[in-house]
Chain A
Amino acid sequence: MDFKDYYKLLDLPPSATQEEIKRTYKKLARKYHPDVSEEADATAKFQEVSEAYEVLKNKDKRAEYDELREYVNNPNQFQNAGASHGRFNSDASAESGLDDLLRSIFGDQGGFGGAASGFNTQRGGGFDSRGQDIRYDLGITLEEAYAGGKRSIRLSTPGVDKTINVTIPKGVTQGKELRLKGQGEPGNGKGAAGDIFLTVSFLKHPLFEADEDDITLVLPVTPWEAALGESVEVQTLGGKVNLKIPAGSQNGKRLRLKGRGLGNGDQFVMLKLVNPPIESDADKAAYEALKEKFSFNPRDSMARRV
């Protein structure tokens, strides 16, 4: 870890008041917070900004950091100041980025002041703390979401490497969170194990689009099927069903298959009219016959609107 100039990170002069530091932090936090930001590397930037603020918002930590910064910028001034390094060992440096900064500059030996213990912060809390939760994005197919089922996934984190069996509930929708209690990282001491949280996301399907619990299928039809009506076979997540296309249907018409979506959702079938290509003189003649027959101008309604 390199020395970080927290003032530069916040774009503030080292003489900034506590009030200015607070105001700038709030502004940058709104800009870079991963939950609200659209910036490309929001997470990393927010981490830097909050690390800087954690230190600078506290007068003691800030004083300590200022001294350290002075040392980094003018190391010669401190040549005979061995004794004063002990001051970097105060409690204020624990549990903050300052701790890591000090270590990066003076090394992990704790050679100054003879008191290394100040650095040995117990990461992740006390002795009986609960284990870390594990978060995982579970990509599933729409068929799996529709029918439910079981799935084995391999989880590999620093604390856990195992295969777990997940039950996918029938009718689950995008973004739903599944929790596996006590299967996360083991706790410390008597602390309970953490949990596993799986967030459901849908894999792209060759035919269907999901909108919450509704499913849409775009169905190509011929102009005469749409005009005259026809009963056609369509795919649903639960298998094929017959759908009656009403006579006089236009392109984009939406028909509903009730209860054929996820859970209580429906399936919608959107008609897409496809003209047959002309592959022979006879094909061409058929189109020309249509042209002769209809004195139809689909742009009439546009003319009336301008």
Chain B
Amino acid sequence: MSELVYTLLEFCHVAKIDEQLVMEFVEHGILEPELGQDQWLFRSDALSRCLLAERMRHDLQLDLHGVALALQLIERNQKLRHRIDYLEQLVERLRH
């Protein structure tokens, strides 16, 4: 259940995003499908990344280079946030 993979067509259908746009996301390194038997395969975690990319593109009117950069920064930010949460909890446990 967790590691579903999609072909390009399935992926576009589920994400409700145009095939052309998904291909451009791939070109800009925003999505990195694996290459299986002559076709791209998208892992299920690519889906939320794709939807986030589309929101950045549409809502913030970024070009795809900007979208790629925004995603990189958003993800780094999330990682740092998780790390801070973890360290804060750890400090709490060390103090009490």
B35 touches A (CB below 8 Å): no
Whether A179 contacts B44 by the Cβ 8 Å rule is yes
Residue total for B at the interface (Cβ-Cβ under 8 A):
26
Minimum C-beta distance from A234 to chain B (A): 14
Given A29-B60, A178-B2; A35-B86 close (CB under 8 Å): no
- Give Cα A209 to B82, complex, Å: 11
- Complex CA–CA separation, A74 to B62 (angstroms): 39
Q: Is the CB of A218 within 8 A of B94?
A: yes
A side interface size, CB within 8 A? 33
Which residue in B47, B70, B93 is a CB contact (below 8 Å) of A177?
A: B47
In this assembly, does B59 line the interface, its C-beta being within 8 Å of a C-beta of chain A?
yes
Q: Is the interface of A mostly helix, strand, loop or mixed?
A: mixed
Nearest CB of A to B12, in Å: 12
A39 to chain B, nearest CB (A): 15
Closest beta carbon of chain B to A19's beta carbon, Å: 13
Contact of A167 among B1, B16, B45 (CB under 8 A): B1
How far, in angstroms, from A195 to B11 measured CA to CA in the complex?
Answer: 13
Report B78 CB to chain A, min CB distance, Å. Answer: 8
Which residue of B14, B61, B78, B86 contacts A211 across the interface (Cβ within 8 Å)? Answer: B86
Asked if A176 lies at the interface with its beta carbon under 8 angstroms from chain B, I say yes
A residues in contact with B86, CB < 8 Å:
209-211, 216
Name the one of B2, B48, B70, B90 contacting A169, with C-beta atoms under 8 angstroms.
B2
B9 within 8 A of A: no
Given A177-B47, A179-B1, A272-B94, A33 and B60 contact (CB-CB distance below 8 Å): yes
Chain A CB within 8 A of B56 CB: yes
A111 at interface by CB-CB < 8 Å: no
B8-47: which have CB < 8 Å to A? 13-14, 16, 44-45, 47
Task: Tell me if A211 and B94 are in contact (CB < 8 A).
Answer: no
Structural contact, A218 and B93, CB atoms closer than 8 A? yes
Partner of B48, one of A29, A174, A177: A177
Is A92's beta carbon under 8 Å from chain B? no
Residues of A within 8 A of B1 (CB): 167, 169, 178-180
A209 and B89 contact, CB distance less than 8 A:
yes
A26 touches B61 (CB 8 A): yes
Contacts of B74 in A (CB 8 A): 35-36
Question: How far is B14's CA from A302's CA once the two chains are assembled, in angstroms?
Answer: 60
A35 touches B61 (CB 8 A): no
Q: How near does chain A come to B87, taking the closest CB pair, in angstroms?
A: 9
Q: Which residues of B contact A211 (CB under 8 A)?
A: 82-83, 86
Contact residues in B for A216 (Cβ distance below 8 Å):
86, 90
Q: Is A94 close to B, CB under 8 A?
A: no
A50 contacts across to B, CB distance below 8 A: 59
Point out the residues of chain B lying under 8 angstroms from A175, CB to CB.
78, 82
A30 at the interface (CB under 8 A from B): yes
B52:A35 contact, CB within 8 angstroms: yes
Say yes or no: A26-B60 contact (C-beta < 8 A), given A36-B70, A167-B1: yes
15 of the cross-chain contacts (CB-CB < 8 Å) are: A29-B61, A35-B52, A36-B74, A130-B13, A169-B2, A174-B82, A175-B82, A176-B45, A177-B47, A179-B44, A179-B47, A181-B4, A209-B93, A216-B90, A270-B90
Known: A169-B1, A272-B93. 7 other contacts (CB 8 A): A33-B55, A33-B59, A33-B60, A130-B16, A177-B44, A179-B1, A181-B4
| For the complex of A and B, 3 pairs with smallest distance between CB atoms | A218-B93, A211-B86, A169-B2
